[in-house]
A = this chain, B = another copy of it.
Amino acid sequence: MSQKFAELDEVKVFKDPVHRYIHVKDRLIWELIGTPEFQRLRRIRQLGTTFLTFHGAEHSRFGHSLGVYEITRRIIEVFDGHPQWHPDERLLCLSAALLHDIGHGPFSHTFEKVFDTDHEKFTQEIILGDTEVNRVLRKEDPDFPKKVAEVIAKTYGNKLVVSLISSQIDADRMDYLLRDAYYTGVSYGNFDLERIWRVMRPYDDQVVIKQSGMHAVEDYIMSRYQMYWQIYFHPVTRSAEVILSKILKRVKSLYLKGYEFKQPPIALIPLFKNQLSLKDYLKLDESVIMYYFQVWLDEEDQILQDLCQRFINRRLFKYIEFSPNKYFDIFSDLREAFYEAAIDPDYYLVVDSSSDLPYDFYRPGEEEERLPIHLLMPDGTLRELSRESTIVEAISGKMRTDHKLYYPADFIEDMSHHQAAKKKIKDLLNY
């Protein structure tokens, strides 16, 4: 691939709290960052509702995307001159790294569950469709957008390139662990990034790690484990997510039933109708959503209004541990008691589960994504990480799952008209 874009006259730098500086010397990258589609990532939080648990976590996907680009850039610098590395793939990798999250919308995770949207589909559309991003990429080469889209979709021929962006130890994960730890202020997410990128090597169709860096990788895997359970799956964050999803569910259901909104939620209607165009999608961001939530504080519908004030004023649901066995025993009784108390359990009684597999080696015939991490031994052979590392071996394949039942404790406390139901609910929750 011939490189059409010149280098910039001078390296541009972004001050970044995680990587100190992010360096851009390619005009292509510089122009991609300047597109409206990329700037839009400033209006979408990296961690959704987590800021309601960890107030520092207000950072957007913009900084993360720059960070993934920067880590990829540094890894490639190490690859430079290596016989298994084609320098022609450099700009492709950097572009894919920068754009890998470009398709995310506001509170992506929850929106996808409620509206069945797919941020990966929008990523493809933004790269291949009628956008500024596409116009910039095409200036490099008419074929370039397609290649970038393939790398992100993991269908690109050169799997080495794919594995830089998507694997168990890719630039994406390394950036978000460090970045989310920085903004939440926890110490768990720290590992020696510099050590890892310096020991990465291209090896056939994957990125491998020199054995001397094994301990840094162990540390990365432990960080990942801690971040999942302490940040990403935090029960308070999930409470906010539960409320968010119920707001979206309620407003869609109201719309489909012909409810008269005081101020019609114009930007969301295509979503309710399953007719969301790329243009509509790009207009959605978290400001728009938060604007509607505020507007709905004045709506007649009690459920919508209540859920919105809960989200805006952080009056979240409480929770109890909820093992699946218990679930069958008491869930239907609880729902009934909620009905008796005139609280709609479809909106106010929610089970939420999280699970994580800290590290897994490849099992034939299963999930394709979970490629193992390979160590490059001093004798030039490869060994799968968990065969060398006691600690990784110990936690490999250990799935951990956590179930919580969310409910509005304040409602139940205030239920003076339904003493019997109140007692029943409290008994069931303490069961």
Contact = CB atoms under 8 A, between A and B. Distances in A.
Interface of A: 13-18, 20-21, 34-36, 39, 42-43, 51, 54-56, 58-60, 62-63, 66, 182-188, 190-192, 194-195, 198, 215, 218-219, 222, 225-226, 229-230, 263, 266, 283, 285-288, 290-291, 294, 309, 312-315, 390-391, 394-395, 398, 400
Best-surrounded residue of A59, A286, A391 (most CB of chain B within 10 A): A391
A20 B185 contact: yes
Contacts of A222: 219, 222, 391
A36 B288 contact: no
A192 B186 contact: yes
A350 B283 CA distance: 30
Given A43-B290, A294-B283, A17 B185 contact: yes
A63 B59 contact: no
Give the secondary structure class of A's interface: helix
A219 B290 contact: no
Contacts of A195: 21
Contacts of A15: 54, 56, 184-186
A219 B55 contact: no
Contact of A17 (B14, B183, B192): B183
Contacts of A54: 15
A61 to B, nearest CB: 11
Contacts of A314: 34, 39
Nearest to A230: B215
A48 B253 CA distance: 37
A55 B286 contact: no
Contacts of A229: 215
A314 B16 CA distance: 18
Contact of A226 (B59, B219, B226, B285): B219
Contacts of A56: 15-17, 59, 63
A296 B354 CA distance: 41
Contacts of A266: 263
A184 B192 CA distance: 14
B400 A395 contact: no
28 contacts: A15-B56, A16-B185, A17-B56, A17-B182, A21-B198, A34-B313, A34-B315, A35-B313, A42-B51, A55-B60, A55-B62, A58-B63, A186-B192, A187-B192, A215-B230, A218-B226, A263-B266, A285-B290, A285-B294, A287-B287, A287-B288, A287-B290, A287-B291, A291-B291, A391-B394, A394-B394, A394-B395, A394-B398
A36 B312 contact: yes
Contacts of A21: 194-195, 198
Contacts of A394: 391, 394-395, 398
Given A60-B58, A62-B55, A395-B390, A188 B16 contact: no
